Amino acid sequence: MEIEIATIGGYEEVGRQMTAVRAGDDVVIFDMGLNLSKVLIHDNVETERMHSLDLIDMGAIPDDRVMSELEGDVKAIVPTHGHLDHIGAISKLAHRYDAPIVASPFTIELVKGQIEGEEKFGVDNELVKMSGGESMEIGNGLELEFVHVTHSIIDAINPVLHTPEGAIVYGLDKRLDHNPVLEDPIDMQRFREIGREGEGVLAYIEDTTNAQKKGRTPSESVARTHLKDALQSMEDYDGGIVATTFSSHISRVSSLVEFAKEIGRQPILLGRSMEHYSGAAERMGYVDFPDDLGMFGHRKSVDRAFKRIMNEGKDRFLPVVTGHQGEPRAMLTRMARGETPYELESGDKVVFSARVIPEPTNVGQRYQAEKLLGMQGARIYDEIHVSGHLNQEGHYQMLQALNPKHVIPAHQEMEGYAPYVNLAESEGYKVGRDLHITRNGNRIQLVE
């Protein structure tokens, strides 16, 4: 059976991930993501109303025109988890394909949100839920399996396409976490089995985000211990404490909610995306928040919540808000500019449970947000976080577990592939033979 991989997007950048695998006459698409930074650099761009081709020209969504060169029918669109760089182009591209969107339940829920927000295209692909540990027949003699992995969002999976020529493991976005906070540990056992079963692994597409980082990505439980230490140390403080983190990072939000309670404060989630993600997770039973946990997304209800906090006493609450990167329009930045009813005072604490994404525009905005917070007397706690991506040791372990015939580094620009190439070469792979440095829009024929 012919096996071919089209590396459509996310092979020259982090963002707008999209990969297609053709096995015989059947094609499966993994991820359809958005590169948000390509949107934000322009003023006043509203993607909701934009046409796909314009977004492709901007480099914001994958250029899927290479799909016409793949001789086969798309049988499924498979986003691996709910981050925008993996699902954010579905509303712009999925309607072109007559195929269901297959994803884990939480991811499906977030995909729904994307589709509902879309104003240009009508997307009515079937939405099919499948959880980690499950699989389905697909196309002609193929099987699609989801392996449960751990990442900075819940319900992430690595899809595996089993073909007669061996398995194709699409390995994007995970950390080897044996002690995550809300979920099961990563299913390394299953990866090891896949590495030994049948024809073994034909190809492994790997998330190389952190390939330059030594050692092992710490478990979410390390971030949790760090966060607990920080919040408990504030137990006696009788002023304002505010925290911010990635809205989609349900485990972290859950820890913040829990520790707020422990130090005698009422947690409250504020900001549109904070409400969006945590609301979905709670509705679906992924997390068991306290009954009295407030979540507010709309400007008016947020301001009402802030007024209530100011009336009842800042020392009784712990708002968890959006704005961890200093985004100009996020809640924390508005607080820093004094645009909300919440009044910061000297000694108030602001906890960034996130790292600064090291891109200069971003660094500048975060700096400015911290400056503005500081001008109001706030004290910053930063970098209480662990990455959601594999460091070098995780890469070694995955190669050893899967023992793939071909390896395709992904999720980076070429500069980011370099340390992964060194690592994979030390395991016996060779560029140009079985280690494929590729670019957006290329096709790699694995079996002819």
Considering the rule CB under 8 A, would residue 414 count as an interface residue with its own copies? yes
Residue 53 contacts its own copies per CB under 8 A: no
Q: Give residue 229's Cα distance to chain centre.
A: 26
Choose, by CB under 8 A, the member of 210, 219, 278, 322 that binds its own copies: 219
Applying CB under 8 A, does 191 fall inside the site for its own copies?
no
3-state secondary structure of 83: coil
Among 22, 381, 410, 411, binds its own copies (CB under 8 A): 381
Q: Which is nearer to its own copies, 121 or 396 (CB)?
A: 396
Q: Which of 92, 226, 252, 385 binds its own copies (CB under 8 A)?
A: 226
Residue 17 to residue 209: CA distance in whole angstroms: 13
- 3-state SS of 334-356 is HHHCCCCCCCCCCCCEEEEECCC
CB atoms within 10 A of CB 358: 7
Q: Is 176 in the site for its own copies (CB under 8 A)?
A: yes
In the region spanning residues 195 to 214, those forming contacts with its own copies, defined by CB under 8 A, are 214
User: Does residue 445 touch its own copies according to CB under 8 A?
Assistant: no
Give the closest residue to 227 by CA, choosing from 253, 248, 250, 246: 253
Pick from 229, 238, 312, 345: which binds its own copies (CB under 8 A)? 229
Burial call 225-246: b when 16+ CB within 10 Å, e when fewer: ebbbebbeebeeeebbbbbbbb
Q: Of 222, 263, 310, 447, which one interacts with its own copies (CB under 8 A)?
A: 222
Contact 250, 226 (CB under 8 A): no
Q: Quick one: which of 382, 387, 403, 447 contacts its own copies (CB under 8 A)?
A: 382
- Cβ–Cβ under 8 Å, residues 365 and 325: yes
DSSP for 6-45, please give it. EEEESSSSSSS-EEEEEETTEEEEE-----HHHHHTSTT-
Q: Which residue stretch of 69-77, 117-125, 176-184, 312-320 sits at the interface with its own copies (rule: CB under 8 A)?
A: 176-184
Nearer to its own copies, 198 or 364 (CB): 364
Which residues are within 8 A (CB) of 54 and not within 5 positions of it... i.e. 6 or more apart? none
Question: What residue ranges bind its own copies (CB under 8 A)?
Answer: 41-43, 176, 178-179, 214-216, 218-219, 221-222, 225-226, 229-230, 232-233, 337, 346-347, 349, 351, 359-368, 371-372, 375, 377, 379-384, 392-393, 396, 413-415, 417-419, 421-422, 425-426, 430-432, 437-439, 442
Q: Which residues are annotated as a binding site for Zn(2+)?
A: 81, 83, 85-86, 151, 173, 411
Binding residues for substrate: 385-389
